[in-house]
A and B are shown apart, each in its own frame.
Chain A
């Protein structure tokens, strides 16, 4: 097996881990809410068990060990020895978080300091101590083995190994045959170890009419001359242990019996290091002992079987077969991301091509009823449908993202001593994979904020007549071609006098500024507002709401706040479903067509005489109602022309950048609003300041898509008039 295939399996393993972690989290939350049936508990157990199994194959020891501890506790729940009360579920949920961390660290090849989760491990382990009496330390039932996928090879025969003469007595019972083992195959296997002389004793065969076809009547005496040690001989019989009478004598010496080996092992385990070099049992991994006898035996457990000290699940309990859940398995195929992207690109080309064709047809003046026009309309419809279907391939439900948030809520609630429950809604809502990925950080931050700042302490809530446990709601829904995500809490709402005072203190607004409630709420998004002074170490982490808003804007999203004192706050985000197409406004500048992203545009204005004022040597500002806004001449800024345009013969587009700063972009004229397919400029040309990407127009020309933020920043840098930057906030 090549390195590539191993890498591919490793990739599969971590993908599967994600799924299992998600399943586990879901099940644990159901258990926490007290509505988990036995199948849910089983599913959680299996998820952890599977992670352990796979981790073993990749020698991820820390992950294996922690998963094992966790799994043991879950097994106790499964067996009914442990009731999933709130006290039990708390460490369980923490363990889930640690497991997720360990998976992530393993995937990224990082180390996690064991001390950072030793406490959780101990707590979980403590759950399995029944009645205060410590049960025997349960052994990890396997040691990670590096999988060597090299070609199967027979171990090199040791040179001049001593020859043994074995005398084997083998009498199969009926069970041996019932379990599809075959005496002949076992004898054949023995013959591989050396020279054999086989004698069959058929004296027990009854007369024909008395023969039971499933009966076991034959026994064999086998003389084996081999260099292999006795363990190798025993290994041949490992699958039929208990299903046949087997005795092995060597060189005339009777074989050590199973009981002797068991005693030897028990002694080795109980006392100092094993004296027998072939029995490598140094750890409490008693279970593993049977795996490690002799070098010839690895993961195949040989005959010598030690009763495990671990708790044995009562047969009745274990026999409980989970009811088949009537959820039809979804048929899926796995496709490389590159292939999907290639398809998306091609569909982008198709859309552009179709637009060009439409333009040609219009130019050719075909009658609206002509078959060409009708055929083209059909093509247009089809193209749109193909585009939507292809976009849907990249679409993913927000469920995994939402699930991660329950952990954040737990952590922050624990750290702040609050009681908070996360309720989610619309997890099945789908959005582009990249959007999902890039939402994780802003969402995490907002959820932290909601718990840390939104929800009050249990005492304060009680005093306000609210239940001690606060609720944070996270919902997603599709609304008019966009996804809307809302985070709301039933906390105290935004403390507007405090926010206002803080903004004044920081010099963000003047003390006599007239601000509406909504204006005050929006102050939270100003750069420089949420700094360490107002934010605890939980939400702090160096980022404020301005950064959150910037990330949302970068995704082509919009953000808003609604808050009611004493009732709570709601943060809403509206995002495009895909990053492959963009709603833009096509504008003309110096004979070029440019696209301004619609999300950045506040309004368009026709500058009138007297509204434009000079500022410094080059700068100009535009008076819009009662404020002045920097005026940026897009034509000169991008180097399309040397002289500035006449504002009165141009159009001003009022745009909002990060943190709400407003600027006016001066362009020659507005063409229309349209959806454009985004083409990376970096991939095809190079990075251009002020330009985010490009698109291809219906007439085949390339149009640049403006990066409004960069354009604005660039204009300030070229004017080096920093004082303008914050002068227009709000």
Chain B
């Protein structure tokens, strides 16, 4: 069955890259431009994996992860953080918020896809 990935990133460049890389790997791709938008998309869809950026307007990645984990429906959805940040404290914060994994940009599509496959049931 085709798996659905929700990517949340405010950069159009990054969204384009993610869409192309993930679509090519056979995933169904949904995209949101920030945390608030991501939560909106989640109202109607249950993705298999969420891939989110950290630095975003309106609601950042931490906020999104916390909100998703608070919602019983999405408790089991793996969330991968994809960001240029590799600061240990931020990484720890994302983990505490409930992130499943952390990938540093710029990403290599094969690695990202491998990571997604690793967390997607």
List residues of chain A with CB under 8 Å of any chain B CB. 1, 5, 8-9, 12-13, 15-16, 39, 42-43, 45-46, 49-50, 52-54, 56-57, 141-142, 144-145, 147-153, 175, 178-182, 185-186, 189, 236, 238-239, 242-243, 287-288, 290-291, 298-301, 305-308, 310, 312-313, 315, 318-319, 321-322, 324-325, 329
Contacts and interface: CB of A to CB of B under 8 A. Distances in A.
Contacts of A39: 57
B104 A49 contact: no
B24 interface: yes
A301 B102 contact: yes
A301 B88 contact: no
B63 to A, nearest CB: 5
24 contacts: A1-B20, A1-B109, A46-B10, A46-B57, A53-B84, A53-B106, A57-B13, A57-B14, A147-B109, A151-B24, A152-B109, A178-B69, A179-B78, A181-B78, A181-B101, A185-B119, A185-B121, A290-B86, A298-B108, A300-B112, A313-B87, A315-B89, A321-B60, A325-B57
Given A9-B17, A299-B111, 6 more contacts: A141-B85, A148-B109, A239-B102, A300-B104, A300-B115, A313-B89
Contact of A324 (B59, B101, B111): B59
Contacts of A175: 95
Nearest to B58: A324
A182 B121 CA distance: 8
Contacts of B46: none
Interface of B: 10-14, 16-17, 20-21, 24-25, 33, 36, 55-60, 62-63, 69, 75-79, 84-91, 93, 95, 98-115, 118-121
B110 to A, nearest CB: 4
B25 to A, nearest CB: 6
Contacts of B108: 145, 147-148, 298-299
Q: Which 3 pairs, one residue from A and one from B, show the smallest C-beta to C-beta distance?
A: A239-B101, A13-B13, A57-B106
**Chain B interface SS verdict (over half):** mixed
Contact of B16 (A9, A142, A145, A185): A9
Contact of A53 (B62, B75, B105): B105
A12 B12 contact: yes
Instruction: Report which residue of A15, A39, A42, A53 has the largest number of chain B beta carbons within 10 angstroms of its beta carbon.
Output: A53
A45 B84 CA distance: 13
B58 A185 contact: no
Contacts of A243: 95
Contacts of A153: 110
Contacts of A52: 84
A287 B98 contact: no
B88 A308 contact: yes
A242 B95 contact: yes
B16 A12 contact: yes
B57 A301 contact: no
B24 A312 contact: no
A181 B36 contact: no
B15 to A, nearest CB: 9
Nearest to B23: A1
A145 B112 CA distance: 13
Contacts of A144: 106
A9 B104 contact: no
Contact of B84 (A1, A49, A307, A324): A49
Given A56-B106, A300-B115, A142 B84 contact: yes
Nearest to A312: B89
B79 to A, nearest CB: 7
B56 A46 contact: yes
Given A141-B104, A149-B109, A179-B99, A239 B119 contact: yes
A715 to B, nearest CB: 53
Contact of A321 (B59, B79, B84, B89): B59
Contact of A16 (B13, B57, B98, B115): B13
B106 A180 contact: no
Contacts of B104: 141-142, 291, 299-301
Contacts of A43: 57
B99 A307 contact: no
Given A239-B119, A325-B57, A300 B103 contact: yes
Given A185-B119, A324-B59, A310 B13 contact: no
A307 B86 CA distance: 10
A123 to B, nearest CB: 24
Contact of A301 (B25, B86, B113, B121): B86
Contact of B13 (A54, A141, A180, A315): A54
Contacts of A305: 88, 91
Given A56-B84, A181-B78, A325-B57, A152 B13 contact: no
Contact of B98 (A178, A189, A288, A312): A178
A149 B20 contact: yes
B58 A322 contact: yes
Given A181-B78, A189-B118, A298 B111 contact: yes
Contacts of B69: 178-179
A307 B91 CA distance: 11
Contacts of A322: 57-58, 60
A289 to B, nearest CB: 10
B119 A180 contact: yes
B3 to A, nearest CB: 13
A181 B79 CA distance: 9
B57 A54 contact: no
A313 B88 CA distance: 11
Contact of A299 (B56, B107, B121): B107
B114 A152 contact: yes
A185 B86 contact: no
A329 B34 CA distance: 11
Contacts of B13: 9, 12-13, 16, 50, 53-54, 57
A152 B87 contact: no
B116 to A, nearest CB: 11
B29 to A, nearest CB: 14
Contacts of B62: 318-319
A149 B24 contact: yes
A146 B7 CA distance: 21
A182 B13 CA distance: 32
A45 B101 contact: no
A147 B10 contact: no
A36 to B, nearest CB: 15
Contact of B88 (A298, A307, A321, A324): A307
A181 B93 CA distance: 17
Nearest to A181: B100
A305 B87 CA distance: 10
A299 B87 contact: no
Nearest to A10: B13
Contacts of A306: 88
B105 A299 contact: yes
Contacts of B119: 180-182, 185, 239
Given A178-B69, A324-B59, A310 B87 contact: yes
B93 to A, nearest CB: 7
A258 to B, nearest CB: 13
B55 A46 contact: yes
A239 B79 CA distance: 11
A57 B17 contact: yes
Given A1-B20, A152-B114, A313-B89, A142 B103 contact: no
A186 B89 CA distance: 25
